[in-house]
Structure 1
């Protein structure tokens, strides 16, 4: 049964979650429009991993060949001391036997550009800062800061951890006394990192760039919480991440706002209720401009100056080969929200479950959210408020559990890497020698028993012969 002809979806945010949602809706024959706060899209970030469990969805969308050309299959994760002594290795290729696919590692900006290229120009409007939403009997009127308005049957908040959509929705629920206390608590962050991606390097100097697969190297500092992650990407580039816990981050949070943070963010206060207007937060998971200080990265990177580079030379050679525009200082926030929808408004991705970003859990979970929601929208009997509420409740029931598993697994892996001391060293040694089920589940996907698909498209093929 085709979706209702009068169904129109407004997506707030043109990050990875919003773009993949738009592509899926287009394949489903559902009218949609994406509203993005930024006037010019500038993809941020370095590397990203897509789990095997989402690869079939990518295949159904006809993106697998192009995505494979941008990426390398993840072969394993090797953990080393700062002096280069091997502590252990996790072989991720076992996922191929279980799922018939392997995880893919690629440049995040490359992935964003690929997804953006699949969105028709008339379906995306930039420079649209959402400041208000008013529900009517047949839909939702969205108001932007420039006083322009957009009307849709439903609104999907894909606008990241500091979601304006979520805040507008929560403001209304709070006034009605219907918002759980846990949802009023701020995001939690006790870690920060600096990430970067080098310019193209000489493969003669770094032969690892010639490999067809990707092996992640994790370097652990002795008697300090700082670690460094290094991984080769397509295009002769190397992605890296330096960081660790910083307990001082927790002291900067204010409980007065559901989206307050330890950084200077436009999402800190003054958000409107669902029927009025005011200031709005960042979209698409982007950080406020005050977060991106390439110069301030130096003090964090100094902690790894004496780390031995697994590719030869110094790790500082890799850091210094990174253009300033590709260096970012970020917080690693996390929070599972209890309320994912209200009326005709629903959240996906980081807007409803912000996961510590280890091995692409956030992106993969956002793709799974989008697929689940689009399947339900495709089977929607009508655009009545009752039918929409029913599918939103079903969406939450299906996706909240797996998202919680992903969040918990990522947190456990982060603690495994960053904890210090004799007991922590022993735990790492045991875990890396006898990889537990939860760790493999986290790396290869939260579910190896199910392979989610888009119900309205032909089943994915298994014809791609390049997977090795």
Structure 2
């Protein structure tokens, strides 16, 4: 009987995604070395972060034990809670089923849990190892330790999980510029955390204060605290810019008291606090393909998206599960085949994930308009109410875009295409009509139109 060759993998970056991938690979018996630039006691990543929101799409990519532990640490959110300018409060459910919820969890909590899980699974984590050179053909990386010493790690596959500022991605782009295209863009908006005492608020929803081109967001935590962030256009293009119009502590206080009067008295020292904590500019990074030779990029290293759909980490966990599944699919029986097979795995992974990553980047930018203004618009809310009702009555014919994106495993690019196709029909039926009084009539017309189209499609095939 031919003995199966066991893969080995070197992962650059021991953040949440790198550790999740390491756990999945160890479940297949793959030897895993994780190389992390920071120290064991230091923060992994930039340290500037709002809570991460997991949905069933990302959670389903993780092992059952990891999901169980995450639910013990996170807060389940079933709705948006909208705080309107006039002081009114309304709610918008995320979906139509119990599984249609978000799991809000602070980045550091997610990091600690997944790192612990990776170590339990047998992954080796090497701290203070900065990537300085990549050998894509040999799946090898040279790292520099804190004392300047250099070492080389080599596996059957090299995986870049080192975030938006990926050294692995940049090394590939520099050495093979005709193979990998990398595009970086900054958007006008930045974000900063605001200290706000909001412990007595409803912990079952994501609180939003939409105000045109800016909004305040409060995310519940497990221990009845909230992580509160302001998203707003910035004044300049340099890294030390402040929010537009907020160039002094007095300006910050005036702004918050005017825009968010219902919670202003809960914002402890908001003027001095926000001036001392410069906002972080939001940006996107995308590349194509997500591989070169025996190197693949996973998570933010491949696709850094703005956070307005809350799907960045979910997409990254899908990346990890896709790569793990391909390594399971293409098992080795001959060590001499390692190079050819791992390059095949890298190509297939890239073919599947590039389209999904690019679609999510577009969806995330589109959702900024919804969070900033549309969730406070009566016409928008009437349309969303109709869509939810339509899905409840005819789930086989129509699924709202948010549910397709957050609560299914349909690839992001396919979800976007499906929604555009069905929404074009609904747009025509809704044009110029009262969506409250004529809702049931519109739903009936849509069902007849879609059933007729599906019948013709079935006949044609």
TM-score, L = length of structure 1: 0.71
Q: Aligned Cα RMSD in Å? A: 3.7
Give the structure 2 partner of residue 243 of structure 1: 231
1:98-139 superposed Cα distances (whole Å, 9 cap, x missing partner): xx4633112221111111111328711111110002255x54
1:186-224 superposed Cα distances (whole Å, 9 cap, x missing partner): 2333210102576xx6xxx84336x5xx21111123xx6
SS at match of 1:63: helix
SS at match of 2:10: strand
Aligned residues: 384
Distance 2:323 2:309 in 1: 23
Residues 347, 122 of structure 1: alpha-carbon distance in 2 compared, 3 angstrom cutoff = closer
Counterpart check, 1:51 vs 2:55: yes
Give the structure 2 partner of residue 316 of structure 1: 267
Give the structure 2 partner of residue 377 of structure 1: 327
Written as runs of structure 1 = structure 2, the 5 A alignment for 1:384-463 is 384-418=338-372, 425=377, 428-430=380-382, 433-434=385-386, 437-444=400-407, 447=410
Written as runs of structure 1 = structure 2, the 5 A alignment for 1:145-164 is 146=148, 147-164=150-167
Written as runs of structure 1 = structure 2, the 5 A alignment for 1:105-124 is 105-120=104-119, 123-124=124-125
Give the structure 2 partner of residue 91 of structure 1: 93
Distance 1:56 1:172 in 2: 36
Q: Judge conservation of contact 2:17–2:299 (CA < 8 Å) in 1.
A: yes
Q: Judge conservation of contact 1:195–1:328 (CA < 8 Å) in 2.
A: no
Q: Judge conservation of contact 1:228–1:241 (CA < 8 Å) in 2.
A: yes
SS at match of 1:207: coil
Written as runs of structure 1 = structure 2, the 5 A alignment for 1:291-330 is 302=253, 303-308=255-260, 314-317=265-268, 329-330=279-280
Shift of 1:49: 0.7
Instruction: Select the structure with the greater relative contact order (CA < 8 A; seq sep ≥ 6).
Output: 1
Shift of 1:406: 2.3
Distance 1:404 1:95 in 2: 28
Distance 1:160 1:166 in 2: 9
Structure of greater Rg: 2
Counterpart check, 1:171 vs 2:177: no
Shift of 1:61: 4.0
Residues 371, 319 of structure 1: alpha-carbon distance in 2 compared, 3 angstrom cutoff = farther
TM-score, L = length of structure 2: 0.72
Shift of 1:378: 2.2
Give the structure 2 partner of residue 276 of structure 1: none
1:360-409 superposed Cα distances (whole Å, 9 cap, x missing partner): 31100000000000111123334532211211121122222332332222
Residues 426, 404 of structure 1: alpha-carbon distance in 2 compared, 3 angstrom cutoff = farther
SS at match of 1:11: strand
Counterpart check, 1:7 vs 2:3: no
Give the structure 2 partner of residue 267 of structure 1: none
1:67-112 superposed Cα distances (whole Å, 9 cap, x missing partner): 11111222101233344234x542114253xxx4633112221111
Q: Judge conservation of contact 2:216–2:230 (CA < 8 Å) in 1.
A: yes
Q: Judge conservation of contact 1:194–1:300 (CA < 8 Å) in 2.
A: no
Gaps of 5+ in 2: 389-399, 413-461
Q: Judge conservation of contact 1:226–1:304 (CA < 8 Å) in 2.
A: no
Give the structure 2 partner of residue 131 of structure 1: 132
Higher helix share: 2
Distance 1:239 1:3 in 2: 52
Give the structure 2 partner of residue 273 of structure 1: none
Q: Judge conservation of contact 1:159–1:165 (CA < 8 Å) in 2.
A: yes
Q: Judge conservation of contact 1:131–1:144 (CA < 8 Å) in 2.
A: yes
Give the structure 2 partner of residue 63 of structure 1: 66
SS at match of 2:165: coil
Give the structure 2 partner of residue 257 of structure 1: none
Distance 1:297 1:173 in 2: 46
